[in-house]
Every structure is written in C-alpha cells, then in structure tokens.
C-alpha cells in the first residue's frame, strides 16, 4: 500500500491548501492527455486517489488514525473511479482554469447589470462658454414598477426547480479513460437559475424591466467642445431582474455661431470699421457673450489688425479662467459715392500728393514718391 502523503510529495502535517496545490501540480504533469509515459496513467490514478482521501477531512482522519487503505471509501485499492466521490471538479479546474459547467458555484443570478448608453446633445457656443443645465428626455429601460424587478406577478415568487432542486446544476456521468466520472452541467429546466418563474409579471413579461421615456437634467460644464463626453453613472439602461443600471454617456455637439469662431479656448470675431473711422480713429462698442464692450480704434488703423479682449473667450474646461476674444478689424471702403463725396475724396488725394490720371494713380506723396526719388538717384 502506497503512502498517500508520499504520492503527493507533502508532509503529514500539510495544510489542505498545500495538498490541493501539490495535487494540481502533479495532475498537470501526469495526466495521460499530456504525458504518454508508460507509468503516467498509474501514477495519475495514484495521486488522484491520494488527493481524494487527503482532501476529505473525515477520510484523512481515518487514514491518519488507522493507516488502513480500507478506511477509505469502498476499500480504496489505489484507484476506484466509479464516480463516487471522484474529484472531477479539481481535475477540470487544473486543466481548464474553472469547473465543469460552473460546478459547485451555485445557481446563476437573474439579476444583471444594464447596458451602457450613448446619446448626443447639441448646445450653442454661448452655452459651451459658460456651461448650462440641459433637460434631456431619453427612451430607455427602467425597472418595472409593477413587480419592482422581481419578474413575478405581485403576490407570487419564484419556485425552486424540481430538477436541480435549486442548485442550478445537474450531475451527468461521462465515460473517460479513467472510467465513469460525474460532471456538473447547467440545468436545462431552469437555465441554471435554480428557480423558475411560474407566474411572470404581465407588465414586463418576466423581464423585470420595461421601456419608457425618462426625463432628467444634466449639468454641462463650461468649456466643453464637440466630442466631449460626460459620464453619468447608473443613468443607463436598468438591468434585468432589478439589476443595477449601466452608465449613460452624453457626447457634446457645439453648434456653429454666426458671429464667433472658436479656436481652442479663444474666440475670433470681425469688426467692420468705416474707412474714415479707421483713418481718424474712434470709440466703438462691440457685442460679446458678456454684453457690450468698448473698443478703441486708433487713428490709421489697418485692415487685419487684431484687438485682443482678454478673458472674454471660452472658459477653460479643466482649470480656471478663460481664453481671449480676438477682434479682427475690417476697413470698409465705399463702393458707391455721389458727386460731392467724389469731389471731397479728390481734394483729399491732392492734399496727400496723390495724382490720378484717367482713374489711375500715377504719383503719390507716399510710396510712389519714395520709389521715384530712389530711382532718380541711380
């Protein structure tokens, strides 16, 4: 008679965890599917039988006390694989990282987490600058108000499955090279739940949730841009059988604004200034998202100049302060002038040393004069 402790390579005072670990290591090494040595099958049977004895506290106590192989179930013999007490679950876990059909883990739960959801919300640029509270309405799954997620008609409850007796699993014999072994499989009658809903809720048809329109308000923070996603925990679809809701993701879409263009956290706008105002200088007011702002146009302002209004842009999403508002100057040149205006413009041109012949500028006290003088000195 072999010594079971020697078969597993553990001391007599080894803990249950040490015995289990030693068995799994040897089972991986000696299993006939991975080891074709002549004695591998016999050794595999021996270590499996040893583990069967030593993993059971009562059998181990008898073995330690009597040292008699007959103290084991049915007289031992170093390899009784008739399916009685065979540690198939441990073998399955050893090779597949789990138990056959979820063996020994109890019935499955009908309650599951709901799915996440994604919706798109459009906001105006001004709302993106300052933030906004937005009321939303979505079609989603909510917990059934009639059965409150129990899936059963009010006043009733699930019935224990009479096939698996509430375990959610059934034992099935399977023939193998080791003989007949018992496996655990999901109960087909109750689908592994251990209970059956005989009288389902008429409102949700036994689902525990129904489709409905739900309204709520979301706080959109200042500084969001197109593509920004806001996660709302537990605001997604309710789970089956009263399970927790998933998350709701709200993706922002910022509408284009007719007056402002956004670049990062800066805003850009155009201010049209009459030619005379650009030449003489003036004080104007400009309408911004913060209300009217004074703008000073210096004499001789040129088209394309930029006036920077600090901290009137978009609020920084992940920080303090705001970007700037950059106002681009556009100088308006009159397209139509009457006779009096034309005469005044000609007088202005003469005073500036500008000479026109047949509508063409032929000399100027500015650029043309400098160019003429330079060429004359060559």
**Feature table: binding site:** 144, 147, 161, 164, 187, 190, 201, 204
Distances (CA, A) of 317 to 128, 196, 290: 10, 52, 18
- Would you say 331 and 278 are in contact if contact means Cβ atoms under 8 Å apart? yes
- Would you say 235 and 216 are in contact if contact means Cβ atoms under 8 Å apart? yes
| CA 140 to mean position of chain CA atoms | 18
- Would you say 314 and 262 are in contact if contact means Cβ atoms under 8 Å apart? yes
- Would you say 362 and 372 are in contact if contact means Cβ atoms under 8 Å apart? no
Which residues have CB under 8 Å from 171's CB, separation 6+? 182, 183, 184, 185
Name the region of 85 (left: φ>0; alpha: ψ -120 to 50; beta: rest): left
CA dist 261 and 270 (Å) reads 10
Name the region of 56 (left: φ>0; alpha: ψ -120 to 50; beta: rest): beta
Binding site per annotation, positions for Zn(2+): 144, 147, 161, 164, 187, 190, 201, 204
DSSP state, residue 238:
P
CB atoms near residue 55 (< 10 Å)? 17
Which residues have CB under 8 Å from 17's CB, separation 6+? none
- Joined together, the tokens standing for residue 305 give 């100049």
CA dist 56 and 78 (Å) reads 16
- Would you say 295 and 288 are in contact if contact means Cβ atoms under 8 Å apart? no
């Amino acid at each position: 008679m072999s010594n079971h402790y020697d078969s597993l390579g553990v001391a007599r005072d080894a803990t249950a965890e040490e015995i289990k670990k030693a068995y799994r290591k040897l089972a991986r090494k000696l299993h006939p599917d991975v080891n074709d040595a002549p004695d591998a099958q016999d050794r595999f049977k021996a270590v499996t039988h040893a583990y069967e004895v030593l993993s059971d506290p009562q059998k181990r106590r008898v073995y330690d006390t009597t040292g008699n192989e007959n103290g084991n179930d049915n007289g031992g013999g170093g390899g009784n694989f008739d399916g009685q007490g065979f540690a198939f679950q441990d073998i399955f876990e050893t090779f597949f990282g789990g138990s056959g059909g979820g063996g020994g883990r109890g019935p499955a739960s009908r309650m599951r987490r709901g799915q996440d959801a994604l919706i798109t919300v459009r906001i105006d640029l001004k709302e993106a600058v300052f933030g906004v509270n937005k009321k939303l309405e979505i079609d989603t799954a909510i917990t059934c108000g009639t059965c409150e997620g129990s899936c059963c008609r009010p006043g009733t409850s699930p019935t224990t499955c009479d096939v698996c007796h509430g375990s959610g699993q059934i034992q099935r014999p399977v023939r193998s090279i080791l003989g007949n072994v018992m496996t655990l499989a999901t109960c087909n009658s109750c689908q592994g739940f251990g209970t059956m809903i005989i009288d389902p809720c008429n409102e949700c048809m036994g689902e525990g949730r129904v489709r409905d329109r739900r309204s709520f308000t979301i706080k959109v923070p200042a500084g969001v841009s197109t593509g920004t996603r806001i996660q709302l925990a537990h605001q997604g679809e309710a789970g089956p059988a009263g399970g927790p809701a998933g998350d709701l993701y709200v993706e922002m879409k910022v509408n284009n604004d007719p007056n402002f263009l956004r670049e990062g956290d800066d805003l850009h706008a155009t201010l049209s200034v009459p030619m005379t105002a650009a030449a003489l200088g003036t004080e104007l007011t400009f309408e911004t998202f913060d209300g009217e702002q004074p703008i000073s146009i210096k004499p001789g302002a040129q088209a394309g100049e930029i006036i920077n209004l600090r901290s009137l842009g978009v609020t920084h999403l992940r920080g303090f302060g705001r970007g700037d508002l950059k106002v681009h100057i556009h100088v308006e040149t009159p397209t139509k002038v009457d006779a009096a205006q034309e005469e005044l413009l000609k007088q202005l041109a003469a005073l500036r040393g500008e000479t026109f012949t047949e509508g063409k500028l032929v000399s100027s006290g500015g650029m043309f004069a400098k160019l003429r003088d330079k060429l004359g000195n060559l």
